[in-house]
Amino acid sequence: MHDLRVLDTLPEQAFDDIVQLASQICGTPVGLVSLVDEQRQWFKARVGLAATHTPRDVAFCAHAINTPDALMIVADTAHDPRFRANPLVTGDPKIRFYAGAPIVTAGGQALGTVCVIDTVPRELDAAQLGALQALARQTSALFELRRRTLALEDQAREMARLSQAATDERRRSAEMLDLVLRSGDMGMWDLDVPTGRFTANDREFEMFGHDPADPAARALDWRTLVHPDDRAPLQAAMLRHLAGETPAYTSEHRMRHRSGHWVWVRHHAIVVARGASGSPLRIVGTHTDVSARVDGRQALEHARSLLQRMGTIAKVGGWELELATGHLSWTDEVYRIHEVDRSIEPALLSAIDFYAPEARPLIQAAVEAGMSHGTAWDLELPFITAKGRRLVVRAQGGAVLEHGKVVRLFGAFQDVTERKAVEQAAVDSQRRLSLITDNLPAMVAYVDRDQRYRFLNAHIERKFGISVAATLGRTMRETRSAETYAQIEPYVAAALRGEESSFSYTEAGDTHYQSNYVPDVDADGRVNGFLAMTFDVSELHRTQRQLELLARVDTLTGLPNRRQFDEGIDAALHRARRLRQPVALMFLDIDHFKAINDTHGHAGGDAVLCEFGRRLKACVRNTDMVARLAGDEFVVLLENLAGASELERLAEKVVASIRPPFRIESGELAVTTSIGVAITTDAATSASTLLLHADEALYRAKKQGRNCFVIA
């Protein structure tokens, strides 16, 4: 109970509903959800009792939990030696009757009971005892849900911490990209294919003589700026990439400057998002002005010098390989990482030898692909310095093409040993977290901004038999059925707006789930995704439906009870006012029913009541409500009547249907009924008034000799 953090908590509606139902179903003035700790019993919910707790040594529930698999019934405390001297019996609240169903956890611990108490001796029937046990199981389910929620909240906090670390890394990567773009003097553009929306950085506009702040410039169709002679090769390269034949597409072509002259650009682009069918959704690319190649050598040397300085600050080295001469050049940072003297002239083959033996085939294949096809690479590989230190380095490379031929390779080189160690620690932490979440009886998932699953615990695979590995990276819309996605989509949208949500939904008709979505919001307020925690609450839902049915149906006849009838007559009168149609009510009881009970006992009386309800229901339409109010009192609620003559025929039919002998265990029995009928066309008539008029008509039918009907 201490782990559940439930003792001395504030009232909760779910527990209050349970004690209300227990009291109503069992017909007792007192209903309790009691929890028994070392010194006392404390009431999580109570009705009909002012006290919040009692000492354990006088608690009835302290006895009940000793037999957790059975109800404890004390029909009369005055005759029970365990309790007749108990101060709760001899003094307030003067307990004479007690019935308690133990609240048992999944691990078998009895925490307390759902119990009912009366001040007079009494007994409960089988239906009431079953309902009391069902309420105890419901209470146990609520405590289990509380335990799981507390555990998942702890896990959510840990996952949020890991997510924040990932967010920080992504921000650093974005800053590095911006740094590279600015240092390389590149224009960057972004094309949303379905909408045709084109965005670009300021350099892209300036490169072609346009003001980035001019709205007219941003409305330009940049494809029209390509030189007519260059459009076909550019389109061919693009189509090969869109078909998946190349990892990116590159080109050198001319584009028209605002002043009218042509600017040669080096173009590099890649599809970064595709639809479910493989069609491109988003293309990102860069343009570099290469017009002044002759005069650009000086600018290139300046850029190299800048790269050296920036590399020293950022601890990122740069390298360049001229394919025509085989000349390889390194920045100072690359020398430092290799632990090689700056005076040594590097060579390609000797540079590859610094990689660990198992990594050399990978880097050699990447370099050869770059030379042959201009293929870029980005690898993290084990590395051994000239002084024998083992590192992990990030090696990146790209190609410079002239007239479609690779003439130069260049790239970046970085010591990532420390980062890899941090990542490995994060992976270990993630592994521990996965071990915990995989063994939770709940479905746990992390969904990113694009609604793609980035984490799924093993419970999902166990429950649904789907492959977690095959699902990761796919979107919720792709993996969930259309019916299910339609139910959860509003809550997904809310979570991606940064709003927490808790909701229920169904799958396959009768499987019910409770989901909690917790947004993953970084320090800048950006929502990166959300954590989804989902429980199968089908059993809880079925229990609730059963309890609702018990509360609205007469357990003897199976007909609607007084509570359901009150709801039905209010709804019928509301429809009558709206549609201006009459509503009629038949009020019936069984003539001389007390004599039947006295002669044939309660079993015989119950058999008569059940058969009476069956015959009555057989006389009316499926749309009419037949209900048992209490004892031998029944009502029929009628709508959409053709007229008074139809009401008379129905009343005659009901009286006639009751007259044939009733067959009970002791033999055949003659039974008759008296009926009072009231009808209203007045929009202001209340349910109580209509019922009163029908009752008065019933009284007149009895005065006329019974076995007949009277219409008010």
Residues taking part in catalysis: 632
Distance CA 71, CA 147 (A): 25
Tokens of 35: 């929890």
Distance CA 512, CA 514 (A): 7
Listed as own residue / partner, the contacts of 267-273 with beta carbons closer than 8 Å and 24 or more positions apart are 267/234, 269/238, 269/241, 270/241, 271/241, 271/242
Contact of 21 with 127, CB cutoff 8 Å:
no
List the beta strands (DSSP E) in 193-275: 197-200, 249-256, 262-274
Residues 453, 454, 460, CA angle at the centre, nearest 5°? 65
**Which of 159, 86, 115 lies closest to 18 in space, CA to CA?**
115
Residue 348 CB partners (closer than 8 Å, separation 6+) = 321, 326, 328, 367
Q: Scanning the structure block, which residue is given the tokens 């911006």? A: 178
Distance CA 453, CA 587 (A): 61
Tokens of 262: 């042509």
Kindly state the helix (H) or strand (E) to which residue 216 belongs, with its residue range.
Answer: helix 215-218
Contact of 451 with 528, CB cutoff 8 Å:
no
Q: Name the DSSP letter for residue 554.
A: -
Distance CA 153, CA 10 (A): 20
Strands 709-711 and 673-680: parallel
Alpha helix positions (H), 58-194: 60-64, 87-90, 126-183
Distance CA 495, CA 498 (A): 5
Alpha helix positions (H), 374-457: 417-438
What's the start-to-end Cα distance of the chain, in Å?
61
Distance CA 539, CA 536 (A): 8
Residue 470 CB partners (closer than 8 Å, separation 6+) = none
Residue 310 CB partners (closer than 8 Å, separation 6+) = 179, 183, 316
Alpha helix positions (H), 315-415: 332-338, 348-352, 360-373
